[in-house]
A and B are shown apart, each in its own frame.
Chain A
Amino acid sequence: GQQLNQSPQSMFIQEGEDVSMNCTSSSIFNTWLWYKQDPGEGPVLLIALYKAGELTSNGRLTAQFGTTRKDSFLNISASIPSDVGIYFCAGQYFTNAGKSTFGDGTTLTVKP
């Protein structure tokens, strides 16, 4: 099956710093999704990417669909305490009936 490698596994940063995380796949995807999960809650969609090379922003968040279709990046600028949580990438491909494959998550801790 398709494998996703998400890194880093965890990050400890100071409030105000920028954050970068990424996902790489052993095979291509036609959709990349980024979710955030707060403690005790389900994941919430942050950004969806549908085209190779696409760069999309949502407030302080920016995500890119890699040109090889095997990777994606999420950047958070000027982090704030409420950015704390687990960030998941997910990839989808037509031949997998549109089902999502999830990375193992990046746990973000922001120190005030």
Chain B
Amino acid sequence: AQSVTQLDSQVPVFEEAPVELRCNYSSSVSVYLFWYVQYPNQGLQLLLKYLSGSTLVKGINGFEAEFNKSQTSFHLRKPSVHISDTAEYFCAVTTFSGTYKYIFGTGTRLKVLA
């Protein structure tokens, strides 16, 4: 079975500062990894994905994530955040099996302060 852990439930950060949102996963098989963003009162939007290949993945809005197989991590980073990045961020995994059952983390609320 797979699991996803987002240790930080809330991350406050000042505008223009860098940020890292942590995600660790557990799986006995190969996985696909995703980060989704949810702005207030909206649905989820795909931010970026790791499927295979390069371990550094670039997404929308200047975000990037690095897949680290040995540490089973997929941390999300942005070098300089904006007020508009205030949102909840979810890490998710699914396996390469044909069922595409998704497991989500509990979310990290990023609050960017002026």
Q: Does B bind A?
A: no
Interface residues of B (CB under 8 A from A): none
